[in-house]
Chain A
Amino acid sequence: MAYYHELLKLCAFDETEIVSQKERIERTFQILELGPADMEKAVARIQKYFDTRLMGVRKAIGVWFKELFDLILCRYEGKKIIYYGYPPFQYIGLAIKAAAKSKNDFYVGCPEAIVSQTLGQFFHKLVPVLEAGEGAGLPPGHAMCSLLQVKVGALEKGIIPIPDLSIATSYFCDMGPKADELMQYKYGYPVEYIDSCLDSPWGLWPEYDHETVRYLGAQLDKLFCTLKNMFGIEINDYVWQQGRLIAGRLYKAINKLTRYLTADPVPLGVADSELILNFPIGCTGSVMDEGAEAIEILADEIGKRVQKGIGVVSKGSPRVLIVLQSISDPAVNRLIEDVGLAVPTTMALLPPPPEPESYPFSTLGEKRAEKAMFGGAYHSTYGMVKRIEASLKYAHVDGIIYNYPFSCRPFVCSNKLTKLHIEKETGLPTLLLDMDPQDERNYSQGSMRTRLEAFAEMLKQEKLRHKKSDIKSL
């Protein structure tokens, strides 16, 4: 039996797939220098940190492997390669896919998310990639984004191919486009910087300056021109809708699952729900059908747990919103439940607040840019904070763990204001917890646990106090 057989079986691959994909699987693992010992380690990690009793979880992990194979092999398989930065402009990758003549013409994705998710989460082998990134221009000790270190390191080590085009998230972050510039210098690939200005004053959101939308819109329209010139693909309103439709099944499944997650007791752990977070953000391939299927299965399984009142923490536990999960370290994701807190939702899963009426912008770029403004994060710090505040109405939580990547400047420049504002406006106690979703060398689980325990204790006392006062008022 092949050395990876047990691992892939655990991840819900069927026998025929393992056989028919043999060449691809072995080539990928060879490029990544993953051998039998790594497979054993991955099996042990997956069994330890993920709820493998759930077929949906196993399938979701399997989909990550498929995305990994697609990424690593895309150059050998003759695809045109487009990377986009993180966070991506929603639906851009899918619109490219929809515009292509054939599904297999392009590889489009966010490689750093896929590499972190798989090499980190499952194989625990991200550090050499991070080190390669550190040595290639994003040095340690300077709060350089570890997600970008993964991207740069993976290119440097030659485990991911050099793309034909990179779409940089210049509308949100400074480090992402600068890292692309560095890579452009090193490898000579073209970069399209989608630029914008987060210059709206405090207090403006959801209003916005039309010119800000026009600028971002012009940038998007320029990207569409580049795509046409470079690859002959046309992105228009129709294609954009087709792109959205590709993700329709996936989003529907995610919505179904997230509704179950709000039950008390919360039926699924943070490490497991993390598996779905980056599906729509990081990938445009297998996740769209097989990922959707995995989540549908998971939602059914979780639905049954909800009916039976089964949860990962006891009923009535304090409920917290978290910002994000680690995309490389499932152990740290489990800490929150370990201290007795339930996580019914994350920031990415919060439903968007109702949108104000649209302005009749004329180009596709402008229309998409306006949507982004409503989303808050591309508007301003205030927009992001208000967006969270508005969505919190639907979250029914007792507190917030604002766990942010310490090396992500857009977070760092706003986290303390966010805490102050949210606590003032919603009364929800908020714990600022700096972490690193890609680099476990940058935090200590011990000190994180201590801080989480203290916060959990405070929330439990608070709950108890409310309970007592409810009894008195009866």
Chain B
Amino acid sequence: MKALKVIALPAVLFAGWWVLSAGSKDFYRPPLRTILVAFADTWFGARIADDVLPSLARLGAGYAVALVLGIAAGVVIGRHPAVRETVEPVLEFLRAVPPPVLVPILILVAGIGDLMKVLVIVSGCVWPILLNTVEGVRAVDGVLADTCAVYRVPPVRRMVLRAASPQIVTGARQALSIGVILMVISEMFAARSGLGFTVVQFQRGFQIPEMWSGVLLLGLIGVALAALFRLVERSVLRWYHGQRAAEKQH
């Protein structure tokens, strides 16, 4: 029943697209059938290894670096008010810079290779993770901190990271969608492979069904990553959702 509800709307939209586009003669809006044929021809082959996987690998690397950096810096900033007061204005500024404008600068610094693209992803993903981690760490219950002090429990590893995990997960979720966007954008400048690059190539070459199939693939990747994220979240935050549900009953 639940699965049915989840599937229903996408199925309707898909069917609608199929039917409405079926007789289309418009060059820029080909029938969905044509797009799907192009999808199979374009993506089930060498392109998986040449374009899709490298894109995903850069996303994975950038996202992982952003997680480590964001959480580590967030814990330090959240635990030390003096550090927070010092770095806050700088953080506000850096966070306000839209990551795509960093691309030309990063090209100067890091060239046009994988490093630049990973750095673009890091520069966008790190902020939501960092800021949410700071909030989570600041909100840690003082009684728990006292408990760690008295019972000699290592506070950061055993308490702070877990207590702040609901906020950290929120930041990580925001960062994931930013990461997908930046993965594509970083490949639209000065690139020779990747999903973003390929889509732009198709557009320039007037391979319109192929271009649409690339958009479709990016959407599917987004959905798959979100599902994967939910799976991880469910196991990491099981205690939190349980606690929330228990509190609501009272």
Decide if A and B are genuine partners: no
* A interface residues, Cβ below 8 angstroms from B: none
* B interface residues, Cβ below 8 angstroms from A: none
